[in-house]
Amino acid sequence: MKITDVETFGVNLGGSNHIFVKIHTDEHLHGTGEAYRVGPDLVVEQAVHYFKDWIIGEDPTRIEYLWRLMYNGSRFPGGSVINAAISGIETALWDIKGKAHGVPVYQLIGGRCRDKVRVYRGVGGATPQQLANDARRAVQEERFTAVKMAPQPPGSEKMPWGQVLRETRRRMEAVRTAVGEDIDIGLDPHARLFEPYRAFEMAEVVKPYRPMFFEEPLRPENIEAMGELRQKVGIPIATGEMLYTKYEFRDLIAANAADILQPDLLLCGGLMEAKKIAAMAEAAYLSVAPHSPLGPYSTAVSAQFALTTPNFLILEYRVDSSGPMRDLLLQPFKLEQGYLHVPDTPGMGVELNESAFHGRGLKSWHRPFIIEPDGNIGYQ
């Protein structure tokens, strides 16, 4: 079997960009993957096409070989754009391989070590009560066993730090009261804290409410600072969504900078690279909770990983069975009582709904600029 073509679908659906990769073969099998939208997204899509000439004519089942061809063949170690493109191609190759063998991908990477995949939903609200109400809905009506929230209030960059800490306490207390003591609550300040002492003070404020993890309390550029913070706080530190390949995660583990690793399989180098990262984490007694905010195809890839990874903890999940995300796939995975059920369909187990993509091309975007009271550009 040989690769004959590589297509991309740059799609804006459900209010966000998606960069899907479709690889064709001479045996009429195709595989689908997705590359992370690291921004600028058009560049990621073009990076996939840059690799196209490298892999046409190659055997799509030689996944490790093709990964090394793209990664080692790049002039410098790849950054976010290159690794997102490689991840999109790599996940499509696994879809082909599963279909070629007539088995789901999880059977090719070790088989199930669990029967279903625990997931959490992000909750939000401008006020503590609105936030608590959304968390209560997620738990009582949608039956999630875990949620994730931003601890700091909206507009916190323009508030005095003491007010930020008071509002953070109020938000955390409201959600804990709403969901009870047995529901896990993840916290994500979105790497907007620059000074480690502020991350420490925020951790102290939320500590009495027993968060499941404190995600990206600092940006990832200074791993040593994250390691020092981890030694001081009494709550689990989670990070990794902005890191890629086993090499960067090796540095994170060596610095003792996290309790929970969060590789994104559409960015870190793909499914097999995530398995290697998870094995390194297991040897260090760390768990893995993949970053997966993009929607249903990311969910499908991450669920195949989760089923086969013993130190998997929980998966980020964006509801895709209703609303605007529903149009991306012909049939998403079934969610029940806070767990995903993965079918034994060959490959990744899902197919794109390409008929919904017409006229919905990629849109330019950026995260909101953080303007501090004195006009300085803050971290986001």
> Catalytic site residues?
190, 291
Contact between residue 165 and residue 128 where contact means Cβ atoms under 8 Å apart: no
SS3 call for 205: helix
240/86 Cα distance (integer angstroms): 18
SS3 call for 84: helix
Residue 192's CB is within 10 A of a number of other CB atoms, namely 20
Contact between residue 202 and residue 225 where contact means Cβ atoms under 8 Å apart: no
Residue partners of 68: CB distance under 8 A and separation at least 6: none
The Cα angle at residue 20 between residues 16 and 22, in degrees rounded to 5: 165
Tokens of 236: 């689990």
Tell whether omega for the bond before 40 is within 30 degrees of 0, i.e. cis.
Answer: yes
Q: Tell which residue, 188, 73, 54, has the closest CA to residue 120.
A: 188
> What beta strand segments (E) does 26-158 contain?
30-35, 117-122, 146-149
Q: Tell which residue, 105, 95, 36, has the closest CA to residue 309.
A: 105
42/19 Cα distance (integer angstroms): 9
Tokens of 160: 């005095």
